[in-house]
Structure formats: C-alpha cells, structure tokens
Amino acid sequence: MYPLDPRPEEINIIDIAHALSNLCRFTGHVRTFYSVAEHSVRVSQHCDPKDALWGLLHDASEAYLADMSRPMKRYSDFGTLYREVEARLMSVICEKYGLPQEMPESVAIADTRLLMTEKRDLMHGCNKPWEDTGEPIAGLIIPWNPFMGERRFLERFAALTEPLIEAGA
C-alpha cells in the first residue's frame, strides 16, 4: 500500500488494527503506552451509535501515515501537507467501508471528549491550556496492551459491520 496513491482494494482492516494497536497516542508522551487503536474503540463507543464505524475508523489513516500531534498538524507547513495526504487517504478509507466523506459531528465531539479524558488520565501534570475543550468522559482510562488493543479494535469492527453484511450492504 502506497499512502500517496491509495486504492480501496489495498486498504485492509487487519493492517489498520495491527498498526494502530502499536502506535502510541501523543507521540508517546503519556505515562504508559496508550494506543491509537484503543482511542479509536473508545471514540466509537462514545459517539452516536449510527456513527460508530466512522468513530472507530476516524484515525485509520494513521495506520499508514503515523500519528502527528495536533499542534504540528494544525499549525505548520508540514502539517498542511500531512492534512492533504491524510484527507486523500481518509477519502479512500471511507469509500472502502461505505462511510460518508465528512466526519460526523458526533465523532468530532467524542474525539475531543476523549482527548480531554486522556489529558486528565494519561499525561504527566499537563497544565498548558489547550484550545480544545470538552467534558471528559466519566471513568478512568486503564490502557490496554497492544495485543488487547488490536483484538478489541477487530472485535468492535466485526460487531459494527456484521449487521451491514447480514443486510446485504
């Protein structure tokens, strides 16, 4: 799979689950390993149920591009290029899995709430102001290991797509 020229037939959910389960959020600046796969599962559980598959796959491009911190992604020339490549790749992922091209609002809200929860539970004394605000999710995040992250990501994918397969979609 070449991320600068992605094709739907090259996108593979097993590759996505495996890569995201081994990719640490916040470029590793957390108290303990916390995977993008786990973050994605949690987003899918806290957005509108009709948007849950989008929530699960909202960071799927990172399986092929790696994660980039929000400040770099939003406020740098490099981030501008990254966002262009990421948007193209996400478009192909959406096509592959029959998702709308635009991220649903409930996914964006859940993603921000998870960000606030992760800041609270996983970062060492992070007292810098963040432009993102939102109410953290109740309960403490106890991170999964990569094996568990991959397994739960694939289980969540199966649970969300099985009804679609049965309906002939």
Residue appearing with tokens 């649970």: 159
* Domains recognised in the chain with CATH numbers: 8-166 (1.10.3210.10)
End-to-end CA distance of the chain: 25
Residue 70 clears pLDDT 70, i.e. is over it: no
Q: How many CB atoms lie within 10 A of CB 153?
A: 27
pLDDT of residue 125: 67
> Of residues 131 and 67, which shows the higher confidence score?
67
Amino acid sitting at position 28: G
Q: How far apart (Å, rounded) are the C-alpha atoms in residues 34 and 145?
A: 8
Mean pLDDT of the chain: 89
* pLDDT per position as a tens digit, 40-59: 999 999 999 999 999 999 99
Is the overall model pTM greater than 0.75, yes or no? yes
> Of residues 122 and 77, which shows the higher confidence score?
122
Which of these, 125, 126, 118, lies nearest to 142 by C-alpha position?
Answer: 118
